[in-house]
């Protein structure tokens, strides 16, 4: 009897064992599927600057834009079909700048030139200031900053389009991928890039060298004329005439003659003795001409510019000052700069050349004093000012 009971218990135990074995085999695929419901493993790769650079290169290539590989020199320089600049070797890291904070959030930056092309970063430009001028070109300034912010915790990406001149964020997009996703970084950066491209014109990477630059003239000068005379009673009279002038106008490039020229009005503030006292006025449009300005970045020689001031006499005719005083300023300028009134012009050479990466390309400091004994009295004329050729 005992033997039969033992045998029954053994059979029952085997049945239970077999039952639980079959049950576990049935449940295992279900639990496995639940634990991997997204079909992806979580991303365990560390977020580094190196990884962000490689990802950005992939994103730009996927967007159909030309961009050099990180460890491979650029084989072509698109958009430059007037000069051979094959000696400029550019790598991806010459364009991309990165930094990471203590929280692990990473910033990745690119710069756009005036035409929307990706150009080398400011550090590269500062380290290579003459690389364009040796080919008769100039270093184009960056106008726009493209900045990714990659948030390590949320694995999201913000992409800003920033105007460099004002620092204003003009456009901003966000990308938040579904997690877990082992490819979250490339997916998020691609999504952000595609959103931004729909709103902005981002073009191929190129060198920062350009042929024609938009320029402006800035003139600011102050001329003081001191007239000392003696009366018959041996009294000394001193009259002081002060003229402060400003002019700002654009220059255009004449491709046939290969130089810049332009003209504009002059804003005048004056202080004279007598009933006219102090005043101000603005001349008609063509009171100052700048002609035959050669390219400031050319290494063919020192740039020169022909300056013609007040060529039609409009400064004195239209400013509304007394007839007896209207010639004081132009005569002072004539003596200081050896020009003929009214249609005289003179050539400014020996400009002080500035870096092509700065706003001011070249300048001429006006600092001179002349003294003349007219027989009636002593006249001293002093000019303090500056003429600048700036990027527009």
Q: Same domain, yes or no, for 378 and 255?
A: yes
Please provide the distance, in angstroms rounded to a whole number, between the alpha carbons at the two ends of the chain: 111
Q: Which has the minimum average pLDDT: 20-34, 179-193, 226-240?
A: 20-34
For the chain, what is the domain count? 2
Which of the listed residues 210, 225, 256 is the one where a domain comes to its end? 210
Tokens of 134: 């040796």
List pLDDT tens digits, range 99-118: 998 888 999 999 999 889 99
Q: Same domain, yes or no, for 242 and 201?
A: no
- Is residue 191 domain-resident? yes
Other beta carbons within 10 angstroms of residue 266's beta carbon come to: 23
The sign of the CA dihedral 47, 48, 51, 52 is: positive
Tokens of 46: 């560390």
- Is residue 44 domain-resident? no
The more confidently predicted of residues 298 and 1 is 298
The sign of the CA dihedral 121, 126, 131, 133 is: positive
Q: Same domain, yes or no, for 192 and 302?
A: no
The structure's pTM equals 0.57
- Is residue 30 domain-resident? no
d(CA 13, CA 11): 5
Residue 293 near residue 322, CB atoms below 8 Å:
no
d(CA 386, CA 265): 17
- 35-53: average pLDDT: 67
Q: Same domain, yes or no, for 96 and 200?
A: yes
- Is residue 184 domain-resident? yes
Residue 177 near residue 184, CB atoms below 8 Å:
yes
- Is residue 19 domain-resident? no
Cα–Cα distances (Å) from 5 to 14, 19, 363, in that order, read: 14, 21, 114
- Is residue 11 domain-resident? no
Q: Same domain, yes or no, for 167 and 288?
A: no
pLDDT band at residue 257 under the 50/70/90 scheme: confident
pLDDT at 196: 96
Which of the listed residues 210, 226, 253 is the one where a domain comes to its end? 210
Q: Which residues contact 151 (CB under 8 A, 6 or more apart)?
A: 105, 157, 158
Q: Same domain, yes or no, for 201 and 256?
A: no
pLDDT at 275: 65
Domain encompassing residue 364: 215-391
Q: Same domain, yes or no, for 242 and 281?
A: yes
d(CA 35, CA 12): 34
pLDDT band at residue 76 under the 50/70/90 scheme: very low
pLDDT band at residue 241 under the 50/70/90 scheme: confident
- Is residue 12 domain-resident? no
Q: Same domain, yes or no, for 150 and 137?
A: yes
Q: Same domain, yes or no, for 270 and 327?
A: yes
Which of the listed residues 164, 188, 210 is the one where a domain comes to its end? 210
Strand pairing category for 117-119 and 203-205: parallel
List pLDDT tens digits, range 141-178: 789 999 999 998 899 999 999 999 899 999 999 999 88
Alpha helices in the chain (DSSP H): 2-35, 49-62, 122-127, 184-199, 314-318, 328-337
pLDDT at 232: 77
Q: Same domain, yes or no, for 203 and 227?
A: no
Q: Same domain, yes or no, for 376 and 242?
A: yes
pLDDT at 89: 79
- Is residue 39 domain-resident? no
pLDDT above 90: residue 239: no
Q: Same domain, yes or no, for 196 and 70?
A: yes
Quote helix, strand, coil % in the chain, to nearest 5. Answer: 25, 35, 40
Q: What is the 3-state secondary structure (H, E, C) of 305-322?
A: EEEEECCCCHHHHHCCCC
């Amino acid at each position: 009897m005992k033997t039969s009971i033992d045998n029954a218990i053994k059979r029952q135990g085997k049945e239970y064992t077999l039952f639980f074995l079959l049950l576990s085999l049935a449940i295992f695929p279900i639990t496995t599927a639940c634990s991997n419901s997204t079909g992806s493993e979580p991303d365990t790769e560390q977020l580094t600057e190196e990884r962000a650079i490689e990802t950005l290169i992939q994103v730009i290539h996927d967007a159909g834009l030309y961009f050099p590989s990180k460890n491979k020199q650029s084989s072509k320089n698109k958009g430059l079909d007037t000069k051979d600049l094959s000696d400029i070797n550019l790598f991806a890291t010459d364009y991309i700048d990165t930094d990471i904070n203590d929280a692990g959030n990473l910033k990745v930056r690119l710069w756009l030139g005036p035409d929307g092309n990706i150009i080398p970063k400011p550090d590269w430009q500062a380290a290579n200031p003459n690389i364009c001028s040796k080919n008769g070109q100039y270093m184009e300034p960056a106008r726009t900053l493209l900045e990714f912010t990659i948030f390590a915790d949320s694995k999201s990406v913000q992409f800003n389009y920033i105007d460099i001149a004002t620092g204003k964020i003009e456009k901003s997009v966000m990308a938040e991928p579904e997690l877990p996703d082992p490819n979250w970084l490339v997916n998020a950066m691609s999504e952000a890039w595609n959103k931004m491209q729909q709103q902005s014109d981002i073009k191929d990477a190129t060198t920062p060298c350009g042929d024609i630059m938009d320029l402006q003239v800035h003139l600011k000068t102050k001329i003081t004329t001191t007239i000392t005379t003696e009366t018959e009673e041996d009294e000394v009279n001193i009259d002081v005439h002060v003229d402060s002038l400003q002019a700002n106008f654009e220059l255009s490039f004449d491709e046939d003659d290969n130089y810049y020229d332009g003209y504009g009005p002059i804003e005048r503030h004056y202080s004279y003795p007598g009933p006219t006292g102090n005043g101000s006025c603005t001349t008609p449009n063509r009171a100052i001409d700048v002609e035959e300005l050669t390219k400031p970045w050319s290494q063919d020689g020192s740039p020169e510019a022909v300056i013609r001031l007040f060529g039609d006499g409009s400064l004195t005719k239209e400013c509304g000052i007394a007839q007896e005083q209207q010639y004081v300023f132009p005569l002072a300028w004539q003596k200081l700069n050896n020009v003929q009134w009214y249609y005289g012009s003179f050539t400014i050479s020996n400009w002080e050349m500035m870096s092509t990466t700065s706003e001011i390309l070249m300048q001429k400091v006006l600092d001179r004093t002349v003294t003349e004994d007219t027989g009636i009295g002593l006249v001293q004329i002093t000019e303090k000012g500056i003429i600048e050729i700036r990027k527009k």
